[in-house]
Chains A and B, each alone.
Chain A
């Protein structure tokens, strides 16, 4: 209480101070000193004390700016048009300030959780893993189910459920016979897949309440104490449960443990701007900072996948909520309101796929946006009982965040009103504009960089907001008009792009770009040649130029690059034995995808002739510590490069029997360190200057690339993992002779330390035993 009083009094004093009208000179000096102070503080080690000093210092300038905007910059009543538009712009700025203020509260002290100790198996709860699916490809599902089955957990306590909404009775009896047949075939194949993996296939009569209905169907048929949800394309790493499930025993009121979503493939913007390998993904700000911030206030919420929920908690709200199309947030909202608590483990433990095309990306975002607005309108957090104030604020923040398209578009249009129509929506002298606005922009950038620099490069937020804003504005309008109308659309993933082309949604971006370009041209012309035009035109021209750079970069974002990798790969650091051309050799596996992997090995002098493209072989993967060994995977050599004394080979898995997915899943998802290394590798702040220069480069060059694509023919979008396009069938996989294989391996020379590991007898005993199982042999023979 005393702390609250102390803080309240200090805050009130500060508020009184920042609402002091003051000379431009004093304001300019304040801005200058604050910016200098932030730069110095930014260099100091990140401690709680410097963090709060930094944020409080920056807030002074932000608040000063807001006060000035509110009291000194609105057009007079005598100019109703200017005043009207001025109020709209002010509203947009206030919204941004509101979002920033809430984010500062939520992210006051993002939680860093320490790892859980490993619990004894007998103390672990029973777990049901739900993998809801609707139309995902079998290959994707095989990987997910295999990875889920491969999780480090007592087998008796883990049940994996494939909840298929693509093979419901309703689908199987569709009036369209072709569709019905496809559904039936899907059901059959997935049932077989589950049998092979030891998972449970479950479907239902009707596709009611979409994903929430599907999950609730799973709940009805299962009994595990803990329910884990993975999207069909979200494959868990082996450590997933060990890192998370223990929290439930430690907090009886805990209903949720959420982990971050990490993607193996770039979203269309990352892909088209080629930033995936080096720039943190868009969602990392949310998972890397916001969810941790929410965790501090018991406000982290369910994101639909990669999360664990307590069955007893779900039962109190009759399962997953399905009123809105974002069942995840809605479910968490209901449970928080019912007094349950949540928790967030900031450790990448799953790897998933995200939409490849701009169109499907927009479709996904539209669903999130509409769903959040549905909750806001149908279950307003501001008035919902049971939530504590910060939870209320957190949910409001998560929902109102989705208003961003409106202010973003306002910021785009506002300066044009002055350039083209002379509507003055912002009344200030040039020295005031510099003293207040420049300081505000500077401080804002520094604060963003301080808070989010490791998860977000400069100006990238603006880019994402803009590219979504153009379409989400429409989505917002429709949900506001009819809050119950939006329906669940499954985001299309695993698509492939054969050629460079423009997204079919690209034209509005060209239109906006042309208008902004004209705006900049007119502004420059008016500033240079029109006598009555003041420095205000200069400021507005700069603003429009900034917008133009965003719009230019956005053109790059919608100019879809050809996707070379059909299957997203993950860098790993594993060892295996490759048998090729009758010779076995130890190899290092550098990366792996569902379609193949890249290996490295030292070349022998006489080897060149043996290594041929198209040759078939077997890859025996050395399992991670504690993992069971899997039979070798048939591979085809797809490329060979030689660098010095080493070969680097691409190995394609081709169309494999489902069983091999266990080995591939183990290779890919056997050790979460792989994905954690990948994520950590991108989290290096680029810095304001470098980031801004890069953004400037995109703004300047991407429009030309987009223009060149505009001249290309329209391409076909195909599914990356369909049977027709999954690479060549491996025609001549040699019949596997376990004994011969083991001998060949044992004969490997020289007997280096690595090789000794490879030929660990236990490993091969198990491997050989598995190879002798009837299914495997049958499949192998069939091949």
Chain B
């Protein structure tokens, strides 16, 4: 259906304002080829600035104002919605317009707790902008419960606000540390959030985009309305516009749809081009006057005007100072975690939003989210040190200890002398740098402080552990070099699309609605990762091997099998795995049933069952070589949690994100996002950009299988790409990193140098000073 020839239409069919058609799911091009489509804006009352509207109309979506007072869900963060264990704290930024901030508000929390949680002994405490709104006991285990907390007038600020929830949970019958694993409470995102009394949100400046409520899932939805058929040049502008929007929204999960998709949920309509409504006040861009779904309009009569408007908008976005409560501004910056510079850095826990605590339970866990640079080279050329500040009580059992995990892997343990009270800061804890990865990392401090009386649940509720916010994490200066293929670098900082010397390319061989939505969703998320809009060039034609870094988004059937082969995948295997099954419906968008929705993550339906159960076991895949002593000295060890490439898709995954290269220059890396068909691809894109999945991307190929991400190790194929301007210290660290990963090479270099130096010394000494005999 999609023509391979560049037959761009000259006719712009729909210049009017109309709702989008409910399109059939079949792949149809609407990028200048294939059947003509019209775009219409949601509200016909918006005056048309162009010719007669064309195309079919949809029923208008429900206006948000009809639900007033509206519940404003919480945005998605990297920490999720699940409070586990005896003590857990989470932080959300909430952006508001002036009108919203000044309106009477209530905070509503709906949650479900595990059966083992003792509701009367467990509570949730709410802090808004660091002011406590009070505590409430947790829910009964058998139903979702709601608690409302009145927000004092004047507490909310226009701009960013911070919501902090602290959950303390007790077990009903068991007081052992192990029992704390059964304690959890999950927020229901659809029924939790600020209930604002304001009838109208009052969106004014472009910065108010951040105040547009997210979907119930926490994602920020952008519905693109850009006239009828998108010309490639319009796609080019749309690419930029959705990126600016995602950045302005400050979201971690931008989801772009085109037309009416997702119209029944809160979203921002991004109207672009000639048919877009005029922004209020006659500006070149801005919110259009619209009573319902907010419409941000960038009209522009031609490409030049549109480009100038987008430029100007992005400039204004960059210049805008962060506004809001102090805690809110901090929460906004901590949304994805504490972003580190890559240079030696000392992070105090208070800078990560932790305010210190006194803990009376058995097992305490606190995670610190740290975002490493995209070009960070993880290896043990240095180490992270953790200086705990705090104390523990006496009378603990001999098992009392502090455990530190990095990205779920145990990094260090420190036993506590539980007989008597003591300082936690006794000794420095070292964490291997190799456990970190580019992008999101979680360093979790787990303290188990049981008392002998816990066996009979007779222990008094006196504090056992105090962890101060002066606890420090010392990060060394890290080696900075881009690696390709490496999806962690992509998720962390949109590498390789951020390289300055080559322009990135968006290649969509089948530009239908869903595929384009998926592509724009990914592009928007990449902009968020990069912290700036990326200048993608759009094409439907296969770009040359050395044209630049390519983002290819397409159903697998439209992809060149060679390309799949370059990802290390077997094209035939992919074809077999993703052959449409009889009667199987295309995957729906990831609006999950209650239980999964409450899990706060995103999942795709499962694909066909894997041919060989257990084949994805990395140890089995590594075979004999991995079991040999010192195997890691000769070959890169199979990274934990990864599988061989040919197992990735065959294990039942429904979407894949992979990297490979067709050129000798690793700068021209291909990033391929694929799925069996367009609707699955759209669902997959939304899922991939969910923080829970996005932060797990790593290696050469990531395949989505349910809510699991199957990772294929980048391994030996990985190449280095320069990302930093020349600096000797960095070069040295990169070399150190490389040598750390290849111990045998290190020893080889050492021996070669020894040989050369020994003979140089011999030559020098024998010919200097007095001679023998």
Contact B417 A531 (CB under 8 A): yes
Using known A-B contacts A11-B757, A60-B754, A298-B769, determine if residue A29 contacts B747 with beta carbons closer than 8 Å. Answer: yes
Q: How far is the CA of A111 from the CA of B771 in the complex (A)?
A: 7
Q: How far is the CA of A296 from the CA of B766 in the complex (A)?
A: 10
> What's the interface size class on A, roughly?
35 or more
Q: Is B380 an interface residue (CB 8 A)?
A: yes
CB proximity of B637 to chain A, nearest CB, Å: 10
CB proximity of A458 to chain B, nearest CB, Å: 25
Q: How far is the CA of A6 from the CA of B761 in the complex (A)?
A: 9
Q: Is A22 an interface residue (CB 8 A)?
A: yes
Contact B415 A6 (CB under 8 A): no
CB proximity of A540 to chain B, nearest CB, Å: 12
Chain B residues lying within 8 Å of A14, measured Cβ to Cβ, are 753-754, 757
Using known A-B contacts A14-B753, A22-B736, A56-B761, determine if residue A111 contacts B743 with beta carbons closer than 8 Å. Answer: no
Contact of A534 among B414, B747, B768 (CB under 8 A): B414
CB proximity of B742 to chain A, nearest CB, Å: 8
Contact A24 B380 (CB under 8 A): yes
Q: Is B740 an interface residue (CB 8 A)?
A: yes
Contact A22 B739 (CB under 8 A): yes
Contact of B750 among A25, A30, A114 (CB under 8 A): A30
- Which residues of A1-40 are within 8 A (CB) of B? 3-4, 6-7, 10-11, 13-14, 16-17, 19-26, 29-30, 33-34, 37
Chain B residues lying within 8 Å of A33, measured Cβ to Cβ, are 747, 751
Q: How far is the CA of A111 from the CA of B766 in the complex (A)?
A: 11
Contact A429 B750 (CB under 8 A): no
Q: Is B58 an interface residue (CB 8 A)?
A: no
User: Which partner residue on chain B sits nearest A424 by CB separation?
Assistant: B427
Chain B residues lying within 8 Å of A739, measured Cβ to Cβ, are none
Contact A21 B733 (CB under 8 A): yes
Using known A-B contacts A531-B419, A532-B415, A536-B427, determine if residue A296 contacts B769 with beta carbons closer than 8 Å. Answer: yes
Contact A21 B747 (CB under 8 A): no
CB proximity of B243 to chain A, nearest CB, Å: 38
Contact B400 A531 (CB under 8 A): yes
Q: How far is the CA of A278 from the CA of B123 in the complex (A)?
A: 79
Using known A-B contacts A3-B763, A112-B773, determine if residue A57 contacts B747 with beta carbons closer than 8 Å. Answer: no
Using known A-B contacts A26-B747, A112-B773, determine if residue A531 contacts B418 with beta carbons closer than 8 Å. Answer: yes
Chain B residues lying within 8 Å of A112, measured Cβ to Cβ, are 772-773
Q: Is A297 an interface residue (CB 8 A)?
A: yes
Q: How far is the CA of A429 from the CA of B427 in the complex (A)?
A: 10
User: Which partner residue on chain B sits nearest A390 by CB separation?
Assistant: B769
From A47-55, A581-589, A706-714, A765-773, the one touching the partner chain is: A47-55
CB proximity of B753 to chain A, nearest CB, Å: 5
CB proximity of A4 to chain B, nearest CB, Å: 7
Chain B residues lying within 8 Å of A57, measured Cβ to Cβ, are 751, 754, 758
Chain B residues lying within 8 Å of A20, measured Cβ to Cβ, are 381, 732, 735-736, 739
CB proximity of A634 to chain B, nearest CB, Å: 47
CB proximity of B638 to chain A, nearest CB, Å: 16
Contact B743 A25 (CB under 8 A): yes
Contact B633 A29 (CB under 8 A): yes
Contact of B757 among A56, A78, A111, A536 (CB under 8 A): A56
Contact of B743 among A11, A29, A536 (CB under 8 A): A29
Contact B763 A76 (CB under 8 A): no
Using known A-B contacts A26-B743, A112-B773, determine if residue A533 contacts B417 with beta carbons closer than 8 Å. Answer: yes
User: Which partner residue on chain A sits nearest B401 by CB separation?
Assistant: A531
Q: Is B770 an interface residue (CB 8 A)?
A: yes
Q: Is B759 an interface residue (CB 8 A)?
A: yes
Contact B770 A29 (CB under 8 A): no
- Which residues of A58-116 are within 8 A (CB) of B? 60, 72, 75-76, 78, 108-109, 111-114
Q: Is A762 an interface residue (CB 8 A)?
A: no
Using known A-B contacts A4-B764, A26-B739, A108-B765, determine if residue A533 contacts B747 with beta carbons closer than 8 Å. Answer: no
Q: How far is the CA of A392 from the CA of B754 in the complex (A)?
A: 28
Q: Is A504 an interface residue (CB 8 A)?
A: no
Chain A residues lying within 8 Å of B747, measured Cβ to Cβ, are 26, 29-30, 33
- Which residues of B717-773 are within 8 A (CB) of A? 732-733, 735-736, 739-744, 746-747, 749-751, 753-770, 772-773
- Which residues of B327-378 are within 8 A (CB) of A? none
CB proximity of A174 to chain B, nearest CB, Å: 49
CB proximity of A293 to chain B, nearest CB, Å: 10
User: Which partner residue on chain B sits nearest A105 by CB separation?
Assistant: B765
CB proximity of A396 to chain B, nearest CB, Å: 17
Contact B753 A49 (CB under 8 A): no
Q: Is B246 an interface residue (CB 8 A)?
A: no
Q: Is B149 an interface residue (CB 8 A)?
A: no
Contact of A113 among B385, B744, B765, B773 (CB under 8 A): B773
Contact of A49 among B417, B744, B759, B772 (CB under 8 A): B759
Interface Cβ pair total, 8 Å cutoff: 166
Chain B residues lying within 8 Å of A21, measured Cβ to Cβ, are 381-382, 733, 736, 740
User: Which partner residue on chain A sits nearest B417 by CB separation?
Assistant: A532
> What's the interface size class on B, roughly?
35 or more
Contact B760 A7 (CB under 8 A): yes
Chain B residues lying within 8 Å of A539, measured Cβ to Cβ, are none
Q: Is A696 an interface residue (CB 8 A)?
A: no
Q: Is B387 an interface residue (CB 8 A)?
A: yes
Contact of B428 among A6, A76, A113, A422 (CB under 8 A): A76
Q: Is B398 an interface residue (CB 8 A)?
A: yes
Using known A-B contacts A298-B770, A531-B398, determine if residue A30 contacts B746 with beta carbons closer than 8 Å. Answer: yes
Q: Is B195 an interface residue (CB 8 A)?
A: no
Contact of A22 among B746, B753, B754, B765 (CB under 8 A): B746
Chain B residues lying within 8 Å of A16, measured Cβ to Cβ, are 732
Contact B381 A22 (CB under 8 A): yes
Q: Is A473 an interface residue (CB 8 A)?
A: no
Contact B758 A53 (CB under 8 A): yes
Q: How far is the CA of A576 from the CA of B336 in the complex (A)?
A: 99
User: Which partner residue on chain B sits nearest A47 by CB separation?
Assistant: B762
Q: How far is the CA of A295 from the CA of B472 in the complex (A)?
A: 56
Cβ proximity bits A435-465 to B, threshold 8 Å, 1 near / 0 not? 0000000000000000000000000000000
Contact B754 A109 (CB under 8 A): no
Contact B428 A427 (CB under 8 A): yes
Q: How far is the CA of A24 from the CA of B381 in the complex (A)?
A: 8
- Which residues of B377-420 are within 8 A (CB) of A? 379-383, 385, 387, 398, 400-401, 412, 414-419
Of the listed residues B380, B381, B769, the one surrounded by the most CB atoms of chain A closer than 10 A to its CB is B769
Contact B763 A532 (CB under 8 A): no
Q: Is B127 an interface residue (CB 8 A)?
A: no
Q: Is B422 an interface residue (CB 8 A)?
A: yes
Chain B residues lying within 8 Å of A428, measured Cβ to Cβ, are 430
Using known A-B contacts A26-B746, A78-B387, determine if residue A109 contacts B769 with beta carbons closer than 8 Å. Answer: yes
Q: Is B426 an interface residue (CB 8 A)?
A: yes
Q: Is B236 an interface residue (CB 8 A)?
A: no
Contact A53 B764 (CB under 8 A): no
Chain B residues lying within 8 Å of A22, measured Cβ to Cβ, are 380-381, 736, 739-740, 746
Contact B750 A534 (CB under 8 A): no
Contact A534 B633 (CB under 8 A): no
Chain A residues lying within 8 Å of B758, measured Cβ to Cβ, are 49, 52-53, 55-57
Contact B764 A531 (CB under 8 A): no
Using known A-B contacts A52-B762, A531-B417, A531-B418, determine if residue A17 contacts B753 with beta carbons closer than 8 Å. Answer: yes
Contact B633 A3 (CB under 8 A): no
Using known A-B contacts A7-B760, A53-B754, determine if residue A530 contacts B417 with beta carbons closer than 8 Å. Answer: yes
Contact A52 B765 (CB under 8 A): yes
Q: How far is the CA of A295 from the CA of B772 in the complex (A)?
A: 10
Chain A residues lying within 8 Å of B400, measured Cβ to Cβ, are 531
Beyond contacts A13-B757, A25-B740, A55-B758: 12 other A-B pairs, Cβ-Cβ < 8 A, are A17-B750, A26-B747, A30-B743, A30-B747, A33-B751, A52-B761, A56-B754, A56-B761, A78-B472, A531-B416, A532-B422, A533-B415
Task: List 13 A–B pairs whose Cβ atoms lie within 8 Å, in order of A's numbering.
Answer: A25-B740, A25-B743, A26-B747, A30-B747, A33-B751, A52-B765, A53-B755, A55-B758, A76-B387, A109-B765, A424-B428, A429-B412, A530-B417
Leading 6 A-B pairs by shortest Cβ distance:
A532-B417, A23-B380, A23-B740, A26-B743, A56-B758, A21-B381
